[in-house]
Amino acid sequence: MANIQKRPNGKWRARYRDLEGKEHARHFDRKIDAQRWIDEVTASLVTGQYVDPRSAKKPFKEYAEEWRAIQPHRPSTAKAVAQHLRCYVYPAWEKRSLGAIKPGDVQSWVTSLTTTHGLAASTSRTVFNTVNAVFRAAVRDRMIPHNPCAEAKLPSVPRKKIVPLAVDQVRKLSEEIPARYKGLVLLGAATGLRPGELFGLQARHLDLLHATVSVEQQIQQTAKHGVYVCPPKTARSHRTVPLPRVAVDAMKAHLRGFPADGPEGWIFTAPQGGPVVYTHFMDASWRPACAKAGIAKGTGPHSLRHHYASLLIKHGESVKTVSERLGHTNAAMTLNIYTHLWPDSEERTRAAVDKAYADQSADAQPQVDEAA
């Protein structure tokens, strides 16, 4: 129920009751403004878009902590989100309410991430995504009517061209790395699995008879949770990848030298047993092997994935196929990373246009009357 009354002081008081029966009122100089406000509130109540004005007064930090506590984040993501909020968000907005943070405040804060905190553009975008998720949830929970992050302009990220490892480099690396990880290098280069997916492989995931490997889990590592098994990165990361002959041979040789302990046994293990620990693997095996193989410093295991993608592209596989093999969320992501590796089509496009105009020219030629 809503009504408008003129007060003794000449103001117009507009009142309404919300869905819980609580009364809200505002005063206006003009009746038309009071009526407009009542109409807007009534429309929001009818359409289910109503937001209690008191909800917006909740402190940003309080709501963000409540949001963070109920998110189904994996440990590594939870750690990153907590760090984003603690280091870059709460110092700016800890004492602000949800409704007091306006689009201009968000834009100023986004700019400060690079100018004041010195974050790279990609890192600034990641931190922004955390804040954006908080505000989206606040809109969904009817705490605020609009997301102040909606039209924020983010720093552009320079596109980094990937230079894949050559086949000779992969072979050299597989020879220099300790024997227990030779198969890991060759399998990664022949399937494009992420490092965590390679570490998470168990014997039950490998089907040498049908030459396939199934990605169903991965191994991750964080300071707080240690080494743990978790689902693949995204829903599309669950996939079955065909094994080329080089991978089948490499896996047969690996399992002869380092047999898995039953179907649940890890295919690749740490020297002391158990799953591979990323930090130990990098320090004791990967980096020394790269140095011996003459591979640039800073090259990580993810380079095997790029090598695999480059081979598929070189031999004419479509964007869709490459995306599916890599377990990317969509083909656009694949193009964004590897578009520079697709063969140049300049000559094909020139030929296509020239052929079209040549055909039209032929059709336009006047017919000669032979009897004339």
- In whole numbers, what is the pLDDT of the chain averaged over residues? 88
Model confidence at 50, pLDDT cuts 50, 70, 90, reads: low
Tokens 């978790």 belong to which residue? 230
Residues 117 and 115: their CA atoms lie apart, in Å, by 6
pLDDT cut 90: percent of the chain above it: 61
Domain 167-340 has CATH 3.40.50.2300: no
Q: Cα 284 vs. chain centroid, distance in angstroms?
A: 30
Instruction: State pLDDT tens for residues 223-244.
Output: 666 788 999 988 899 999 999 9
Phi, psi of 243 (to 5 degrees): -100, 120
Which of the four CATH numbers 1.10.150, 1.20.1280, 1.20.1050, 1.20.1740 does domain 57-140 have? 1.10.150
Segment 302-321 mean pLDDT: 93
pTM recorded for the entire structure:
0.70
What pLDDT is attached to residue 372? 44
pLDDT tens by residue, 145-165: 889 999 999 999 877 788 899
Total count of residues recorded for the chain? 372
The confidence score (pLDDT) of residue 32 equals 86
- Supply the pLDDT for residue 272: 92
Residue 98, SS3 per DSSP: helix
Residue 35 pLDDT greater than 90, yes or no: no
User: Chain-centre distance of CA 350, in angstroms?
Assistant: 37
Residue in this structure with the two tokens 């990361």, named with its chain if needed: 237
Binned at pLDDT 50, 70 and 90, residue 222 comes out as confident
Q: Please give the Cα distance from 269 to 267 (Å, whole number).
A: 7
**Cβ neighbours for 47, distance < 8 A, ≥ 6 positions apart:** none
